[in-house]
Amino acid sequence: MAITQRSTKNTNRIKVTNKIIEDNLVDDMTEVISEVNNLIDGSQKTDTISEKTSGAGVTVDGLLIKDRGISANSMRGAFYPSVAQNNITAGTGGAISVANYLTTINTDAGGDAFTLANGTQIGQMKKILLVADGGGNGVITFATATASGNTATFDDAGDSLLLQWSGTAWIILENSGVTMTTV
């Protein structure tokens, strides 16, 4: 007998296949009810894969799961933090959150200084967008330098960076109007 469970947003459907209910109706229904209860109460068992050494990771059908990241054939998975975007107002500056995907920044006439910490997960995505240019520049100093430098200067509204954390540094995937330098 095969029992499968399919979930949609508001419903759970359970399908029983390859089972002919004949003479032992009560026994058959008892088995079906038992399997359904296992699905509902979470006692249905699943396999767990554990790595044997901390540096090796686990490979399943060519997909490497290692140190909170996923990669396959020199490709890396992208992860978007689910925390809502934040906006840093002009004249505030300070740390740009790595807990969310999108941070919008604003500058005043004197400019604003920001910092960006290292990512928390390999493949983590981060976008930074200057939305209001008050006359000064927005300057971001990275905790770990990118291949293009450790400082990003946002001059005009609309300037943006799209970044991905590699596990050792932020990789610049897209640069729209931002000047990168090493200071």
Q: Look at residue 31 and give its three-state secondary structure.
A: helix
* Residue 116: Cβ-neighbour burial (10 angstroms; 0-12, 13-18, 19+): buried
Task: Specify the CATH number for the domain of residue 86.
Answer: 2.60.120
Instruction: Answer whether residue 65 is part of any domain.
Output: no
Sign of CA dihedral 21, 24, 29, 30: negative
pTM score of the predicted model: 0.63
User: Quick check: 96 pLDDT over 80?
Assistant: yes
Q: Is residue 137 within 8 Å of 154, Cβ to Cβ?
A: yes
Q: How far apart are CA 51 and CA 53, in angstroms?
A: 6
Has residue 137 been placed in a domain? Answer: yes
Q: What's the whole-number average pLDDT of the chain?
A: 80
* Closest listed residue to residue 121, CA positions, set 61, 66, 161: 66
Please give the distance of CA 10 from its chain centroid, rounded to a whole number: 25
Chain centroid, CA 11 distance in Å: 27
Residue 49 lies in a domain: no
- Is 16 in the same domain as 99? no
* pLDDT reported for residue 113: 97
- Reported as a single tens digit per residue, the pLDDT across 100-127 is 999 999 999 999 999 999 999 888 999 9
Domain count, the chain: 2
Residue 52 lies in a domain: no
Is 48 a domain residue? no
In a domain, 73, yes or no: no
Beta-sheet pairing, 86-88 with 102-107:
parallel
Token code pair at residue 22: 């004949």
Do residues 30 and 119 both lie within one domain? no
For 177, the domain range is 78-181
Residues 91, 165, single domain; the answer is yes
DSSP string, 94-147: EEEPSSBSEEEEEE-TT-EEEEEPPPSSTTBEEEEEEEEE-SSPEEEEEEEEET
Distance of CA 14 to the CA centre of its chain: 31
Percentage with pLDDT > 90 across the chain: 50
- pLDDT exceeds cutoff 90 at 23: no
On whether residue 62 sits in a domain, the answer given is no
- Does residue 58 fall inside a structural domain? no
